[in-house]
Amino acid sequence: MKNIDAKSHLRGESIYVDDIPVREGTLYAAVFGSPMAHGLIKKLDLDAARAMDGVHGVLTACDIPGVNQIGGIVEDELLLADHELHYIGMPVAIVVAESEGIAKRAVAAIRIEIDELPVVVDPRQAHGVQDYLTAPRTFAIGDPAEVWSECSRVVSGRADIGGQEHVYLETQGTYVFPLESGNLKIHTSTQAPTHVQRMVARVLGTAMHRIEVDVIRIGGGFGGKEDQATPWACMATLAAHILNRPVKLILSRADDIRMTGKRHPYSFDFRIGLDRDHKIRAYEVDCFQNGGAAADLSPAIMERSLFHGSGSYYLPNAKITVYSCRTNLPPNTAFRGFGAPQAMFVLEAAIFKAAEELGVAPEVIQRANLLQDGDLFPYGQQAEGCRAVTCWEELEQTHGMEPLKEEVALFNRENSLRKKGYALFPLCFGISFTNTMLNQGRALVHVYTDGSVTVTTGVIEMGQGVNTKILQVAARTLGVSPGRIRVESTNTTRVANSSPTAASTGADLNGNATLLACRAIVGRLQRVAAQELGCSDTPERISFCDERVFIDAMPTAFTWFELISRAYARRVSLSEHAHYATPEIYFDKEKEKGHPFAYHVYGTVITTVTVDCVRGTYEIDAMRVVHDFGSSMNPDLDLGQIEGGIAQGVGLMTIEELLVNEQGRLVYDSLSSYKVPDIYSVPKLVDIVPLDSEPSPHAVFGSKAVGEPPLCYGISVYFALVRAMREFNPQFSLQLSAPMTHQKCLLSLYENL
């Protein structure tokens, strides 16, 4: 089944916020953000902006009728600064004008005087004074302290991983229409319409039922619109509410990069202890998460780092601690992987360093410690249906690991200025929101009297193809052709209280709800058909397929359309609203133990790279993957997700560098200086072999979640590069600091040579 958006995307006909036809009377908003990373507002001069022709209003914190507070997990984030400024770009005032141009010129006319305060950008500095966004947390299993002395080798060190800009194609944006009686309709590019609805209601001091949020699709989110679409929607809605006019607020790329949060950079101190047989006896890590100026989703991201601190390995004694450090940067936020890639990176870094010190290949240690069925994760869940070893072995066989290694060795013998390296990475990613409460989905299905069908769920289509999967679920369950079904926009009035589309759970939660809704309708239609066919006592004999009614799996003369007419004539409901909650999951935060994940996704990658040791540039030759899809309901979409995830993971590990100076200013703040992967930076070959595994019981139709996990395959690129560089220069100091930019690569190649 092709992506249902393919045709309109290709023809440029798909609608995003900025494509919604503009209504008469629309005003345009632009936001004035703090020019300093930390300070107190001494004077805010809005007169020049207010006096400009075409300016209808300049709004500040004192214009907020409700509560000036948008913190979702911790209530520590103002919508508009009132006194203290915490990061460059922190919104201070909203200008509303007759055109975007006027609004921007008015923003430029705002003057501010600030009493500067010290700026902190390094999480270790915040840790030094225990300035945290939320209390530190530790996950532990066994006791590392007891076994260090028994280890044959103990290795410690520091590792670092940088942040990442989301670079969704559609920047943050909102278009709001005031309706009658103070009600408002909001079109916004968000992964979390209910979150927008709740926060708008809070800011306006009104009830959620007055606020309708509608999303057709978004032009990419990657986590950047899980929480951080909300402030812009609140600002536009505040303006529309106060001025009683439609208001549009679309961030320019420059403002979006400057003012919104990114993936969290982390810094780590690790210690790893091994036995003579390369088993990891003990592992301890302190993770310093750079959270930015407010909590946003940092506590949840911290949690996912803790959950993935043991990667795809069994660690009998481990202690993983995360400190969520407050810095003067835009609040960092969700980004595909949500703290897991960072935690996996430091463990791989520890294994890599230990391997170098022991003089063995890292894959020897990796292989010796792979998770197996029955093993405990540090959070108390037992590995079930574990595919770590299966994926690894399948990779050895299907991709011919030994010949690949020989090829690399041969190349390195024959070339002195170009060197190849390879690395493996085993993936294990937990599926479910770690906050159990969020694991619920809803769907509303209508069958119209002509037999056509609409489905509304709480899920957001952001390019991942989830609406196509929803449609597949409905088509298969109702036995009608996909062309008969339309997936509606996501709308808080039709489906309420939805969780964000995040944690890769969109298809599972909303697909399962769709399945339940369709099954309920099928149940009623079976009874109607049984009555019509004279077998009222045994409706279970009836089934639907290819728009026909079957009895005992034999086709009848009855079509879907006739059946729908009869059902309507018999006054049977043709609509259903269903709710799905993931079964069996729970987590006890006191004990830090539980069964938080419905299931895990596994996979293994082997990556080969070639480094140009004269220039410090490199190419990724190939990434060969064995991935556990369960039983994929749409292999094309799922392969697309893996390729996209890999490209983003490669960017994170190689060229995407978020450099911040001491004043808290982004150094690479545009797409001409912040490098995102292009066709030259992605692997020349991506070969994905599906593991033939069981359909997963909690995955919709047994098709495992695929959105975030594959990004982690990118981690292998870092270590493949270091190994290639070692072939040229065995002497450089091991920094374990991602991304490995071309610049860092070049400097290391000639360090101590």
Member of 5, 165, 226, 296 binding ligand MOS (CB under 6 A): 226
Rounded to an integer, what distance in angstroms lies between the CA atom of residue 294 and that of residue 223?
17
Q: Does 338 bind ligand LUZ (CB under 6 A)?
A: yes
Q: Which of 165, 363, 394, 708 is catalytic?
A: 708
Rounded to an integer, what distance in angstroms lies between the CA atom of residue 93 and that of residue 355?
54
Rounded to an integer, what distance in angstroms lies between the CA atom of residue 683 and that of residue 650?
9
When CB distances are held under 5 to 8 angstroms depending on the partner's kind, the choice from ligand LUZ, ligand MTE, ligand MOS, none that residue 39 binds is none
Q: Does 223 bind ligand MOS (CB under 6 A)?
A: yes
| Residues contacting ligand MOS: total by CB under 6 A | 11
Member of 434, 468, 510, 748 binding ligand LUZ (CB under 6 A): 434
Considering only residues 486 to 505 of the shown chain, the ones binding ligand MOS according to CB under 6 A are 502-503
Least distance (Å) between residue 620 CB and ligand MOS: 24
Confirm if 697 and 325 have CB atoms less than 8 A apart.
Answer: no
DSSP assigned state of 23: P
Member of 168, 338, 352, 728 binding ligand MOS (CB under 6 A): 338
When CB distances are held under 5 to 8 angstroms depending on the partner's kind, the choice from ligand MOS, ligand MTE, ligand LUZ, none that residue 300 binds is ligand LUZ
Nearer to ligand MTE, 278 or 469 (CB): 469
- Which string of DSSP letters, residue by residue, matches 115-142? EE------HHHHHHTT-EEEEEEEEEES
Nearest alpha-carbon partner for 287 in 434, 159, 147: 159
Q: Does 433 bind ligand LUZ (CB under 6 A)?
A: yes
Considering only residues 457 to 476 of the shown chain, the ones binding ligand MTE according to CB under 6 A are 462-464, 466
Least distance (Å) between residue 429 CB and ligand MOS: 11
Least distance (Å) between residue 297 CB and ligand MOS: 9
Rounded to an integer, what distance in angstroms lies between the CA atom of residue 390 and that of residue 110?
61
Rounded to an integer, what distance in angstroms lies between the CA atom of residue 198 and that of residue 242?
18
* Per-residue binder mask for ligand MTE (CB under 6 A), 330-349, x = binder: ------x-------------
Considering only residues 277 to 336 of the shown chain, the ones binding ligand MOS according to CB under 6 A are 334-336
Residues 6+ apart with CB under 8 A from 391: 426, 427, 602, 603, 604, 626, 627, 628, 691
Q: Does 732 bind ligand LUZ (CB under 6 A)?
A: no
Q: Does 582 bind ligand LUZ (CB under 6 A)?
A: no
When CB distances are held under 5 to 8 angstroms depending on the partner's kind, the choice from ligand LUZ, ligand MOS, ligand MTE, none that residue 507 binds is ligand MTE
Nearer to ligand MTE, 299 or 649 (CB): 649
Least distance (Å) between residue 480 CB and ligand MTE: 23
| Residues contacting ligand MTE: total by CB under 6 A | 21
Considering only residues 293 to 312 of the shown chain, the ones binding ligand LUZ according to CB under 6 A are 297, 300, 304
Angle between helix 506-532 and helix 560-569 axes, rounded to 10 deg: 80
Nearer to ligand LUZ, 304 or 419 (CB): 304
- Which structure tokens are listed for 137? 């947390």
CB atoms near residue 555 (< 10 Å): 12
Sign of the Cα pseudo-torsion (36, 189, 73, 599, in order): negative
* Per-residue binder mask for ligand MTE (CB under 6 A), 490-509, x = binder: -----------xxxxxxx--
Rounded to an integer, what distance in angstroms lies between the CA atom of residue 200 and that of residue 581?
26
Least distance (Å) between residue 169 CB and ligand MTE: 9
Rounded to an integer, what distance in angstroms lies between the CA atom of residue 202 and that of residue 5?
34
Nearer to ligand MOS, 396 or 508 (CB): 508
Q: Does 641 bind ligand MTE (CB under 6 A)?
A: yes
Considering only residues 493 to 512 of the shown chain, the ones binding ligand LUZ according to CB under 6 A are 502-503
Nearer to ligand MOS, 191 or 237 (CB): 191
When CB distances are held under 5 to 8 angstroms depending on the partner's kind, the choice from ligand LUZ, ligand MTE, ligand MOS, none that residue 434 binds is ligand LUZ
When CB distances are held under 5 to 8 angstroms depending on the partner's kind, the choice from ligand MTE, ligand LUZ, ligand MOS, none that residue 258 binds is none
Rounded to an integer, what distance in angstroms lies between the CA atom of residue 503 and that of residue 737?
26
CB atoms near residue 155 (< 10 Å): 19
Confirm if 359 and 290 have CB atoms less than 8 A apart.
Answer: no
Rounded to an integer, what distance in angstroms lies between the CA atom of residue 379 and that of residue 320?
11
Rounded to an integer, what distance in angstroms lies between the CA atom of residue 352 and that of residue 438?
36
Rounded to an integer, what distance in angstroms lies between the CA atom of residue 605 and that of residue 625?
4
Per 3-state DSSP, the chain is made up of helix, strand and coil in percentages (nearest 5) of 35, 25, 40
Rounded to an integer, what distance in angstroms lies between the CA atom of residue 289 and that of residue 160?
10
Q: Does 264 bind ligand MOS (CB under 6 A)?
A: no
Q: Does 341 bind ligand MOS (CB under 6 A)?
A: no
Member of 154, 213, 334, 642 binding ligand LUZ (CB under 6 A): 334
Nearest alpha-carbon partner for 441 in 496, 366, 369, 394: 496
Least distance (Å) between residue 471 CB and ligand MOS: 21
When CB distances are held under 5 to 8 angstroms depending on the partner's kind, the choice from ligand MTE, ligand LUZ, ligand MOS, none that residue 644 binds is ligand MTE
Nearest alpha-carbon partner for 429 in 336, 549, 525: 336
* Cα of 635 vs its chain's centroid, Å: 20
Least distance (Å) between residue 705 CB and ligand MOS: 10
Q: Does 435 bind ligand LUZ (CB under 6 A)?
A: yes
Q: Does 189 bind ligand LUZ (CB under 6 A)?
A: no
Nearest alpha-carbon partner for 423 in 341, 352, 371: 352
Considering only residues 700 to 719 of the shown chain, the ones binding ligand MTE according to CB under 6 A are 705, 707-708
Confirm if 705 and 508 have CB atoms less than 8 A apart.
Answer: yes
Is 348 one of the catalytic residues? no
Nearest alpha-carbon partner for 29 in 39, 38, 40, 17: 17
When CB distances are held under 5 to 8 angstroms depending on the partner's kind, the choice from ligand LUZ, ligand MOS, ligand MTE, none that residue 681 binds is none
Least distance (Å) between residue 500 CB and ligand MOS: 7
Least distance (Å) between residue 707 CB and ligand MTE: 3
Rounded to an integer, what distance in angstroms lies between the CA atom of residue 668 and that of residue 673?
5
Q: Does 229 bind ligand LUZ (CB under 6 A)?
A: no
- Which string of DSSP letters, residue by residue, matches 666-706? BSS-STTTSPPP-TTTS-SEEEEEE---PPPTTSGGGB---
Binding site for ligand LUZ (CB under 6 A): 226, 297, 300, 304, 334, 338, 433-435, 438, 502-503
Binding site for ligand MOS (CB under 6 A): 191, 221, 223, 226, 334-336, 338, 502-503, 708
Q: Active-site residue numbers? A: 708
Binding site for ligand MTE (CB under 6 A): 220-223, 336, 462-464, 466, 501-507, 641, 644, 705, 707-708
